[in-house]
Amino acid sequence: MIGNLDVVTMELQLAWRNIWRNPRRTAVILTAVIIGVWSMVGLGALMRGILIGMIQNNIDTLTGHIQIHQQAYPDDPAIEHSISDPETWMSAARDALPAGSRWSQRIRIGAVVSNARHTRGAILMGIDPAAEARLSFIGTAVTEGAYLADGDTGGILIGRALAQQFDTRLGRKLILTAQDSDGEIVSRAFRIRGIYQAEMADTEKGFLFVNRQSAQQLLKLGNRISEIAIRLPAHEMAVPVANDLKARLAGSPLRVRAWPEILPLLKAYVEMFDTFILIWFIVVFVAMGFGILNTTLMAVFERMREFGVLKALGMRPGRIVRGVLLETLLMLVLGIGAGNLLGLATCWGLSITGIDLSAMAEGVAYAGMARIITPVVWIRDLLRANLVVLLLGLLVCLYPAIKAARMTPVAAMRHH
Amino acid sequence: MGTIVECNGVSKSYRQGKLVVPALAEIDLCVEAGGFMALAGPSGSGKTTLLNLIGGLDDADSGTIRVDGREYARQSKAQLADLRLHRIGFVFQAYNLIPVLSALENVEYVMLLQGVAARERRRRAREVLAVVGLEGMAHRRPAELSGGQQQRVAVARAIVSNPSIVLADEPTANLDSKTGEGLLHLMQRMNSDRGVTFIFSTHDEMVMAYARRIVQIRDGRIADDLHKASEHR
Ligand SMILES: Nc1ncnc2c1ncn2[C@@H]1O[C@H](COP(=O)(O)OP(=O)(O)OP(=O)(O)O)[C@@H](O)[C@H]1O
Ligand SMILES: [Mg+2]
């Protein structure tokens, strides 16, 4: 055992000295690996940050982790597809929710909003102000005026973008028009109590918030609601908890969906991003791999005579392969170490303020991205980047290593 | 003393594209254990080719080669490598040493391949470096040694594991005559003190003068085989 350790020490020493025989070449390989790993870690974390920002953003906005609707509502969000007796169902579902979960009841119905000069379609949200504040972005989004108070039946919250488009401001009135549960067109004036800001301009234009009771009154819904939204303590719980709820509510007229079902596009995005990250790693690696291959081949060819002498002395080919791979391994480990440090430092630096994309917010909104992205380092991404470089790096160098080992002493000695 | 090298009807030719270059034809040669033999002949006569075949570095086209009683044709590549590692020492004309290892480490490295324990390696390497007169330079790298000193390290490395035979292909070709003679004295001493058989090639008359037996090769054939009286001391 001690003998083995001593052999390893000597081989490491030999490999270490060999890689510094041509410092410039080693510097080239190291630079390639460092830049490669740096960009993998940095951009990987940035992509991951964008992705998580997107999920967070969507869940914050109004999705929540889980939504419960009347069976037909998701496909046809019409007023007649409302949930009757929500309290009964809520008490049946409550046991399935982990501690720290929050929920709220909502009306969510298409409406037309207008003032003297402008008209547009929007979604009318009837909310319980206190419960909703703990669940979605709206509780902290009001930047002018005030959030809805309980029992304020005449107040409405609108987005900044809508206020601009409608050329209106706090204290002014807006008319809401919608179809009530009897199919009659009803309308009513609300006074602007607060103006909110959201991550996306589309949200600001698309959603109006009033008290649930006023919406129920206007639409003649009684105590019926459109949806129950649930927010869990962690993203990962969404699917299992939803499955549990589905089991408990089986046979009821309700439909339970977790966010990947509610936002299939986002789910597809998440999966695509995962693939993107891997493809990105491989693209970076291929560029880097060619550099490593080239340089190692050159290094090996320069030393053919030496390999010939070693083989003449009785060194087995396998040992020569091992020697060359050990040199590669040392360089890879050095480069990977430095690349990770740089990458993590960059992520840390960027995460202090985040990257502000509001300048290009229009395009960003389209993709459902957050305005400010912060890199997120996942151990899994980090391991994947490092493994890609390490394993493929060694694999690439197998070729020069075998070339060195295959060289017969006689041919090697004639090699100049 | 017995025979250590035995070549029977050994032929070898090289292919260069469509051209066949004959290098050795029907060589019969026996070398006694403990011999100190020169392989002489003009450039291109086949000296290196013959040494490579005896060293198991290349395959003969026909004929048999036996070293230490083992017939090469029957050995696998790995067995041949082991045979070289344990029974044969090599000294080449130049660039014998691993440039990133010191003189001491170069000598140690062969023993490392043989699996000799660290302490033993160090002891024997120091001892043999002292024998070749380089104890003060154990920690110098090859680039910090003169050509003659480098060849001494190569001889030290060749003999450190007590091989039966040392094959030296023009070991003095890159040295001036005084340094070359020094190296020959050293080889002679290793031969007489340790009983190691030496076969070295040369086309230098002065170098041949040191040999107890001179085998002349011309156009891949043995042209002359001269045993000097001193061999039967
Ligand atoms: N690898 C090879 N490919 C083709 N021809 C070769 C090869 N090696 C040797 N030869 C040829 O075989 C013949 C014998 O060569 P060898 O190297 O054995 O001669 P040598 O006596 O060692 O010469 P020198 O004194 O110049 O070293 C020469 O004609 C040489 O050109
Ligand atoms: Mg030669």
Same domain, A214 and A341: no
Domain assignment present for A71: yes
DSSP classification of residue A403 = H
Ligand 2 centre to CA of A410 (Å) is 11
Do A31 and A175 have their domain in common? no
Measured in angstroms, how far is the CA atom of residue B46 from the centroid of ligand 1?
Answer: 6
pLDDT of B154 strictly over 60? yes
Q: Output the pLDDT for position B232.
A: 43
Q: What is the pLDDT of residues A64-118, one digit of tens each?
A: 899 999 999 999 998 999 999 888 888 888 888 999 999 999 999 999 999 999 9
Residue of A nearest to B116 (CA): A3
Domain boundaries, chain B: 3-227
The residue ranges of DSSP E strands in A169-321, in sequence order, are 173-179, 185-196, 207-211, 227-231, 254-258
Residues A51 and A141 both lie in one domain = no
Q: How many CB pairs lie under 8 A apart between chains A and B?
A: 69
Query: Which atom of ligand 1 approaches the CA of A410 most closely?
Result: 1
Residue B208 contacts A, CB cutoff 8 Å: no
Cβ neighbours for A104, distance < 8 A, ≥ 6 positions apart? A127, A128, A131, A132, A134, A135, A228, A229
Share of chain B above pLDDT 90, in %: 58
Per-chain mean pLDDT for chain B: 90
Instruction: Quote the pLDDT of residue A189.
Output: 96
C-alpha A333/C-alpha A389 separation (Å) is: 10
- The answer to whether B109 faces chain A, any CB pair under 8 Å, is yes
Given a cut of 60, whether residue A44 has pLDDT beyond it is yes
Q: Which of A124, A137, A133, A128 is nearest to A187 (CA)?
A: A124
Rounded to an integer, what distance in angstroms lies between the CA atom of residue B85 and that of residue B116? 12
Taking the CA of residue B81 and the nearest CA in chain A, the distance in Å comes to: 4
Question: What ipTM score was computed for the predicted complex, to two decimals?
Answer: 0.89
Residues A390 and A273 in one domain: yes
**Contact check, Cβ <8 Å, B52/A410:** yes
pLDDT value at B165 more than 70: yes
Measured between CA atoms, how close is B219 to chain A, in angstroms?
A: 20
Tell me if B5 sits within 8 A of B64, measured CB to CB: no
Q: What does the pLDDT look like over A125-164, one tens digit per residue?
A: 999 999 999 988 898 899 999 999 998 999 999 999 999 9
Distances (CA, A) of A317 to A196, A310, A312, A396: 72, 10, 11, 18
The total of structural domains in chain A comes to 2
Tell me: do A99 and A171 sit in the same domain.
Answer: yes
The CATH number of the structural domain formed by B3-227 is 3.40.50.300
- Amino acid identity at A293: L
Q: Cβ of A146: how many Cβ atoms within 10 Å?
A: 12
Shortest CA distance from B110: residue in chain A: A313
Which of A231, A247, A282 corresponds to the end of one domain?
Answer: A231
Residue A194 is predicted with a pLDDT of 95
Q: What is the pTM of this model?
A: 0.77
What does the alpha-carbon distance between residue A22 and residue A7 come to, in Å, rounded to a whole number?
24
A273 and A148 share a domain? no
Task: Give the residue from chain A lying closest to B109, CA to CA.
Answer: A10
Domain extent, residue A282, equals 4-58+267-414
What percent of chain A clears pLDDT 70, i.e. is strictly above it?
A: 95
What was the pLDDT predicted at B231? 46
First to last CA, chain B: 13
- Nearest-CA distance B50 → chain A (Å): 12
Domain boundary, last residue among A231, A252, A279: A231
> What residues have CB less than 8 Å from A403, skipping those under 6 apart?
A297, A300
Residue A165, domain member (yes or no): yes
Query: What residues does B169 pair with on adjacent strands?
Result: B201
Task: Answer whether residue A389 is part of any domain.
Answer: yes
Under the banding of pLDDT at 50, 70 and 90, the label for residue B109 is very high
| Residue A238 lies inside a defined structural domain of this protein | no
Task: Please judge whether B55 and A312 are an interchain contact, meaning their C-beta atoms are less than 8 angstroms apart.
Answer: yes
Last residue of a domain, one of A169, A203, A231: A231
Claim to verify: residue A90 and residue A33 sit in the same structural domain: no
Count CA within 13 A, CB hemisphere, residue A220: 11
* Share above pLDDT 90 across residues of chain A, in percent, rounded to a whole number: 48
How far apart, in whole angstroms, are the C-alpha atoms of residue A48 and residue B210? 77
Based on the fold, state whether residues A159 and A271 are members of the same structural domain: no
Please tell me the residue having the least CA distance from ligand 1 atom 29.
Answer: B44
Instruction: Answer yes or no: do A25 and A132 share one domain.
Output: no
Q: Does A255 reside within a domain? A: no
Does A74 lie in the same domain as A12? no
Query: What is the Cα–Cα distance from A121 to A111, expressed in whole angstroms?
Result: 6
**Atom from ligand 1 closest to the CA of residue B51:** 18
Domain identity same for A28 and A102: no
CA nearest A18: which of B98, B166, B70, B30?
Answer: B98
